[in-house]
Amino acid sequence: MPTYTKGYTLAPEKRRWFIIAIIFIAIVFNYVDRQVVSILKPILKTEFKLDDTGYAMIVNIFTFCYAVMYPVTGWLVDRIGARLVMFYGIITWSLACIGGGLSRSITQFGLFRGILGMAEPTNFPAQLKVVTVWFPGKMRATANSLCVAGSSIGAIIAPPAVAWLAITFNWQTAFIVLGAVGLLIAIAWKLIYRDPPAHILNEAASTAAVPQTTAFAWKDLWKTKSLWGILLIRFVSDPVWYFCLFWLPGYLQERSGLTLAQVGMFGWIPFLVADLGAIGTSAWSDKLVRRGHAPLKARKIMLTLVAVFAPLCVLAPYLPNAASTLAVFSIVAVACLSWLFTVSVVVAEAFPVNNVASVLGIAGGFGALGAVLFNYFVGQFMGTLGAAKIFIAMAFLHPMAVLILWTMVKPERPKSKIETKQFN
């Protein structure tokens, strides 16, 4: 008979998959909640008497708060733990979503979008911390990819779900219902999550390249070469994925001849392919670990091979039809999402467990900054330089990330008693 720690009525080896399922659902609705505004853009512009500049201001309020709070939430996870940060994060962003539906002025609406942006980064550092302490290296990339696959699933289901709620009821209902679902997710998290027992912690630590009982102090993290490597990787590789999210639907209409209805019918295909492909590449890197490769090296090998496919985007302006464009961007999206999923695992294997959330938080902020700058570049030059030149620039980004990965990222170990200060 196995012996479980206090609070365990379910075997930890089974509980961890329930935890992964809840994180997946939370990330799905994290993305749905943030996309409500873009889907309801014409209605909201009429409701609040906004022009495009006013709409951009609302979007930027969310984006700025999101980028600023990402490193802060990572630090909080390392200080007080994933359980509480995830719980209060979901509660806060769900209430903010409901608040958006109850808003009667643009000031109120902007305030709640800012709160949403401050709360939503809690998901990802907490998720990585959970995967790091609950799963050994041979399972970690698969578990991580199953969690963060929720981001693309959210992007897939948001348009039909939000449109149906708004058409059947009204735009306010879309915000309120989605916020209410988030509150239910928070309750489920509170009921299911437990800190892992000793034998699970030991299993997770057994494959770690870095001692898991120590941690860098916050200021000393910035002295590590690997942190700067991770930041540069996210800065240069994230923009390609953001292009797929925010620019591809318009490109399919303006350059490939699809109607809005056809984009609704087929535009989700690259995101579904990306999800399935990224889960598959993550599982393959875990298989390399089981075959004897060091976990960090296994991730580097996989990421290098999938990066070869990212430059296929240069073919897009010369493809004969929308179907071939969708096919090419499906492959590119697999490469993008494989990097987005597995760079988080690289963080878990390059840094002590008590630093991983902080590192991911900082990296997420840099990734968002890179996307903001690239989006500005695309917006300014798509009509003048043309899509072909933008795709050429995109083609170099993942190869640059490969070079950074192999030259700058390695296991980081605290070197002195000062640096081994515990975070929690």
For the stretch 264-296, pLDDT in tens is: 677 778 888 988 898 899 889 989 988 989 989
Quote the CA–CA distance of 70 and 231 in Å, as a whole number: 13
Quote the CA–CA distance of 116 and 33 in Å, as a whole number: 9
| Least confident among 111-115, 332-336, 353-357 | 353-357
pLDDT for the residue 421:
45
Quote the CA–CA distance of 189 and 83 in Å, as a whole number: 8
What's at 196, amino acid-wise? Answer: P
From the list 319, 317, 336, the residue with the least C-alpha distance to 273 is: 336
pLDDT for the residue 226:
94
How many CA atoms lie less than 13 Å away from 35 in the CB half-sphere? 22
Quote the CA–CA distance of 410 and 224 in Å, as a whole number: 10
Quote the CA–CA distance of 408 and 229 in Å, as a whole number: 5
**pTM metric for this prediction:** 0.73
Quick one: pLDDT band at residue 409, thresholds 50, 70, 90? very high
Predicted confidence (pLDDT) per residue in 307-350, tens digit: 999 999 999 888 888 889 999 999 999 999 999 889 988 998 89
Quick one: pLDDT band at residue 206, thresholds 50, 70, 90? low
| Average pLDDT over the chain, rounded to an integer | 84
